[in-house]
Amino acid sequence: MAAPHRTGVTRLIVGLVLASRWAMMPLFLGLIVGLGLLVVAFFIQLWQFAAGLFGMNGTEVIMGILTLMDLALVGGLLVIVIQSGYENFVEKIDRTGAPDSPAWMTRISFSGLKLKLFASLMAITAITLLKALMRLEIAVSETQVKWLVVASVIFIIAYAVLAVTDRLARNPGEDE
């Protein structure tokens, strides 16, 4: 169907609206820098963990590993946001020269992105809660633990509601 006749002002507005997606580019570049900083922080944490390993008890070893897992999950979350956000808001990424590109990157929908984000956030919250529970005898107050549990429950409920609404809104045959 042909586009209706547009005035110069309308064409300008439509052009600005379409071009506005490029305003997201500096944000994605900033997230890439943030990912690089997170990698540096991960290796600093790993170095400190390895250097003090022989003086740690079992709980401290588990805490160190959980901290590394937490950083890795945040890194994965950044990758999901950067790549999916770029494809959803800026432009499709040409993967013809990247055969090792994971399959999900070419077909994740905005709904799928939200579900992956919630799943990552729930995992990060669960690790934070586990670390807090392991430190109970040291420095974590009962109020802090209660708030962590509340946050975990809220994420679980929100994830379930989002998954159900996305399932109900999906057209038959649509990719997940």
Non-local (6+) Cβ contacts of 82 within 8 A are 28, 31, 32, 35
* Mean pLDDT of the 32-50 span: 97
Domain segments of the chain: what residues?
16-105, 109-176
**Distances in whole angstroms, Cα of residue 51 to Cα of each of 38, 44, 57, 71, 72:** 20, 11, 14, 18, 20
CB 100 within 8 A of CB 151: no
CB 34 within 8 A of CB 41: no
Residue-wise pLDDT tens digits, 44-94:
999 999 999 999 888 788 888 988 998 998 998 898 888 888 887 788 777
The H-assigned helical ranges of the chain are: 8-19, 25-52, 58-89, 104-107, 110-134, 142-169
* Mean pLDDT of the 19-42 span: 94
**From the CB of residue 77, how many other CB atoms can be counted at a distance below 10 Å?**
19
> What pLDDT band is residue 120 in, cutting at 50, 70 and 90?
confident
Q: What does the alpha-carbon distance between residue 157 and residue 118 come to, in Å, rounded to a whole number?
A: 10
